[in-house]
Amino acid sequence: MARQTSAAQHITMSGGGAYSLATKGAGDVITLAADLVLNAVEAMKLPPELPVFQMLDMGCADGGTSLGMIGKVIERVEKTCPDAVFNIIYTDQPRNDFNALVQMIHGLGPFESYLERFQNVRPLFSASSFYLPICPPNSVNLGFSATAMHWLRQKPCDLENHVHMVGATGDALVKFAEQGKRDWERILLNRSKELVSGGRLVLVNFGRDEEGRYLGNTFGVNMFDTFNEIWNEFLENGRISREEYVRMTLPQYYNTVEEFSAPLTDPASPVYQSGLRLVDVHTRIVPCPFAEEFKTHGNVKRFANAYIPTIRSWNQSIFLGALDESCPLEERQELIESYYGTYHQRVLDAPEGHGMDYVHAYLIVEKI
């Protein structure tokens, strides 16, 4: 039997290497986090005779967005530990496009791979979810993850009036918060077993910041409300059923800084008791690159053509998976085209205020 729930199994980014090309913003987030990662490596005080440095990139998609950052880590560790062999373990859930990932890392994708610059690197690939053990105990020096851990292990319920927990209220919101708490602790407990003493995690996670801002909701048009409004229009026009609308609920939870920090700072938490400690947490907004470029070029069509693929890259599989399978696949795909076409038209008609600014919590965690 599959080890993941069916709701989680629809999570797939754009395949064939398209993910990294479409999600320039996610790449910017990792590039800007590189110094944090290098500082975490510095703080480990690695011994010069270290034989193996093992790093995890959890929820790596096609691996393109972290190539530069991982190259910098290898360069930095090599300076201190000249004989170290590097195990770079790429992990994602089983339905990820692993062919695209393997090709990307081995230099057959659209970007140059760090493998061309370093001799002692062994890239390894794992399809174990970050909700499961990935590595042997006590073997990981550095665990990294960006823009991935908001995907829940399973949906606690479907929402009646929105497609995302940011629009949930009452009992439904409580259920999502409880699921988010359980899942976050589960990720941390698994990582705690794998980290060596002194090892660190750098986790760059979508969240809600101190001012209530979150992905696509920092100014102007709220992206998640737009997703919801358009599906509501489809529902009202009889293009989807009520059951299909309700199934559109995305299996995601955006923690607040307090929620991220709690298990790492509360001495009663099993996570804290396992030896994980919060070194630092802060939030940061990385602007939507397409909305920023639009400010300069002012070409609406160019903006819409660049912006829609980025929002499509991570939610199309969920929305397609929510449509009734009794309808032929071709018709379901046409409906999805029409859905993103409607969003595209909205951007063309009134581009101001559209954009997907990235709101992340940056967590540095140490295993004592």
Ligand X SMILES: C[S@@+](CC[C@H](N)C(=O)[O-])C[C@H]1O[C@@H](n2cnc3c(N)ncnc32)[C@H](O)[C@@H]1O
CB of 8 to ligand X, least distance (A): 6
CB of 91 to ligand X, least distance (A): 6
Q: Does 65 bind ligand X (CB under 6 A)?
A: yes
Q: Which span sits near ligand X by CB under 6 A: 146-154, 169-177, 221-229, 360-368?
A: 146-154
State how far Cα 149 lies from the chain centre. Answer: 6
Q: Does 93 bind ligand X (CB under 6 A)?
A: yes
Near ligand X by CB under 6 A: residue from 146, 248, 264, 291 = 146
| Residue among 134 and 172 whose Cβ is closer to ligand X | 134
CB 113 within 8 A of CB 165: no
Q: Does 314 bind ligand X (CB under 6 A)?
A: yes
| Residue among 9 and 80 whose Cβ is closer to ligand X | 9
Q: Which span sits near ligand X by CB under 6 A: 47-55, 90-98, 296-304, 330-338?
A: 90-98
Mask for 252-291, x = binds ligand X (CB under 6 A): ----------------------------------------
Q: Which span sits near ligand X by CB under 6 A: 127-135, 229-237, 283-291, 321-329?
A: 127-135
**List of E strands, 36-182:** 52-58, 85-91, 121-126, 140-146
CB 181 within 8 A of CB 269: no
Q: Does 60 bind ligand X (CB under 6 A)?
A: yes
| Residue among 27 and 199 whose Cβ is closer to ligand X | 27
Separation of alpha carbons 215 and 203, rounded Å: 16
Separation of alpha carbons 184 and 146, rounded Å: 14
Near ligand X by CB under 6 A: residue from 7, 10, 11, 359 = 11
Burial of 80 (0-12, 13-18, 19+ CB in 10 A): middle
| Residue among 153 and 240 whose Cβ is closer to ligand X | 153
Largest CA distance in the chain: 67
Sign of CA dihedral 104, 108, 113, 116: positive
Residue-level length of the chain: 368
**List of E strands, the chain:** 52-58, 85-91, 121-126, 140-146, 195-208, 255-256, 276-286, 358-367
Near ligand X by CB under 6 A: residue from 30, 33, 203, 308 = 30
Residue type, 93: Q
Near ligand X by CB under 6 A: residue from 59, 109, 199, 263 = 59
| Residue among 131 and 253 whose Cβ is closer to ligand X | 131
The DSSP element (H or E) to which 37 belongs, if any, is helix 24-43
- CB count within 10 Å of CB 9 equals 14
Binding residues for ligand X, rule: CB under 6 A, are 11, 13, 23, 26, 30, 58-61, 65, 91-93, 96, 129-131, 146-148, 151, 314
